[in-house]
Amino acid sequence: MAKEWVKIIGSVALGAALLAGSMAQGVPDAGRPSESGASPATGQATGASEAGTAEAPADAAENAPVRVLVADDLSNLALTAPDIPVYDRYTIAERRAAGLPTALPEIAPYREGKVAYLTFDDGPDVQNTSAVLDILRDAGVHATFYVTGRQAQAHPEVLQRIYDEGHAIGNHSYDHRYEKLYPDVNGFLAEMAKTDEIIKGIIGVRPLILRAPGGRILHFTAAYVPALQESGYVEHDWNVSSADAAPNHPIAQDFIDNIAGQTEGEATAHTAIILMHSSEGHEETVKALPEIIRLLQAKGYTFGVITPMTPQPW
């Protein structure tokens, strides 16, 4: 699959350049990355074409999204900005076969400023996910898409667009079926592994982040958390819900009002992880999104993407 030029950051030495507005969308190309995602000579940030070894055109390099590709030893996860997606070149099975670590090291959560994380579950689909991507592009905002393996298989071109435009992708199981996910943790992990393979087959990397369908509350037993930690997965629920999946068919203004009300107070003073959906049937979410972005900006939020460093919502 042909892919646009991208940036892969394999070092924590991003420094002030990543925080400066002029560098928000890319860094100068520094050569092809090593297996750790860093330049073999310097260990600093590198850029690469995923299509070959030729140098990227200047305009492509300038506009390429920034992302982190984790090192083989998972040592490069202490980032200095909340809006940089994180991926792994290996699946869990590949890491274990190569004798590489899977459990993540202790990571300090990112707690600077006031950050809103727009998250969209259950996609991708052609109509609504594509419309959400258009709105985010026009607003200059990045978000997180928790995708199912079945939908990714059905719409690989939309998943590729999510990746190419610098958003974060998270694992949301293969088909969202609770009877396969919650009898025991082995079934849950099998569903995640299956979806990792699908995602990696489309975009060339797999996410470290996931969201449990329905959330972890009332679903996870004591066995789930240590099993996910051992596999290097980081699960995030939410602390703000648009309620766009409520059964009473709410409309766009309901979602706007829900988010406006739930982002008042200390609980979301620094971190607001906002649950929405971008799958079939969520046209009202698309309608609400421009105003949701505007109201969060008016409240002083910047926008981030979910990574292993994102604080938990409780």
DSSP string of 117-138?
A: EEEEEEE--TTHHHHHHHHHHH
What is the Cα–Cα distance from 209 to 35, expressed in whole angstroms?
Answer: 21
Residue 16 phi/psi, 5-degree rounding, is: -70, -25
Calculate mean pLDDT across residues 189-197.
97
What is the Cα Rg of the chain in Å? 19
Of all residues in the chain, what percent carry a pLDDT higher than 90? Answer: 73
User: For residue 168, what is the DSSP state?
Assistant: E
Q: 122 with 236, same domain? A: yes
144 bridge partner residues:
119, 168
Q: 132 with 257, same domain? A: yes
Q: How far lies 42's CA from each of 16, 62, 80, 117, in Å?
A: 18, 21, 19, 33
pLDDT at site 167: 98
Q: Is the pLDDT of residue 231 over 50?
A: yes
Final residue belonging to a domain, choices 81, 103, 133: 81
Q: 154 with 32, same domain? A: no
Q: 56 with 140, same domain? A: no
CATH code of the domain containing 200: 3.20.20.370
Q: 130 with 47, same domain? A: no
pLDDT tier at 31, thresholds 50, 70, 90: very low
pLDDT at site 80: 82
Q: 45 with 181, same domain? A: no
Q: 158 with 290, same domain? A: yes
What is the Cα–Cα distance from 49 to 55, expressed in whole angstroms?
Answer: 7
pTM above 0.75, yes or no: yes
Residue 308 lies in a domain: no
Domain interval for residue 239: 115-303
Calculate mean pLDDT across residues 52-60.
42
Q: Is the pLDDT of residue 163 over 60?
A: yes
What is the Cα–Cα distance from 206 to 69, expressed in whole angstroms?
Answer: 10
Q: 165 with 237, same domain? A: yes
pLDDT at site 74: 96
Calculate mean pLDDT across residues 19-32.
32
pLDDT at site 100: 98
Residue 163 lies in a domain: yes
Residue 50 lies in a domain: yes
Who has greater pLDDT, 18 or 148? 148
Pick from 28-32, 190-194, 235-239, 294-298: least confident: 28-32
Q: Is the pLDDT of residue 8 over 70?
A: no
Dihedral of the alpha carbons of 176, 96, 90, 98, in degrees to the nearest 10: -160
Q: Is the pLDDT of residue 180 over 70?
A: yes
pLDDT tier at 171, thresholds 50, 70, 90: very high
Q: Structurally, how many domains does the chain consist of?
A: 2
What is the Cα–Cα distance from 110 to 302, expressed in whole angstroms?
Answer: 13
The mean pLDDT of the chain is 84
pLDDT tier at 62, thresholds 50, 70, 90: low
Q: How far lies 249's CA from each of 132, 177, 255, 257, 277, in Å?
A: 19, 22, 11, 15, 13
Pick from 8-12, 60-64, 192-196, 309-313: least confident: 8-12
**CA proximity to 38, closest of 12, 15, 63, 66:** 12
Q: Is the pLDDT of residue 52 over 80?
A: no
Q: 227 with 154, same domain? A: yes
**Start-to-end C-alpha separation, the chain:** 40
Q: What is the length of the chain?
A: 314
Is-contact 10 69, C-beta < 8 A? yes
Residue 62 lies in a domain: yes
Question: What are 251-274's pLDDT values in tens digits?
Answer: 999 999 999 999 999 999 999 999
**CA proximity to 130, closest of 108, 159, 166, 98:** 159
Say if strands 115-123 and 302-303 run parallel, antiparallel, or are unpaired.
parallel
What DSSP assignment string belongs to 185-210?
A: HHHHHHHHHHHHHHHHHHHS-EESEE
Look up tokens 């009473």; give the residue: 248
Q: 187 with 267, same domain? A: yes
User: For residue 312, what is the DSSP state?
Assistant: P
Question: What are 85-142's pLDDT values in tens digits?
Answer: 999 999 999 999 999 999 999 988 998 999 999 999 999 999 999 999 999 999 999 9
pLDDT at site 63: 64
Residue 194 lies in a domain: yes
Structure tokens at 23: 């560098």
Q: 170 with 266, same domain? A: yes
Q: 119 with 77, same domain? A: no
What is the Cα–Cα distance from 64 to 76, expressed in whole angstroms?
Answer: 21
* Residues in CB range of 96: below 8 A, 6 or more apart: 102
What is the Cα–Cα distance from 85 to 8, expressed in whole angstroms?
Answer: 10
Who has greater pLDDT, 147 or 21? 147
Question: What are 65-85's pLDDT values in tens digits?
Answer: 789 999 999 999 988 889 999
Calculate mean pLDDT across residues 243-247.
92
Residue 238 lies in a domain: yes
Of all residues in the chain, what percent carry a pLDDT higher than 70? Answer: 80
* Residues in CB range of 270: below 8 A, 6 or more apart: 111, 113, 114, 115, 311
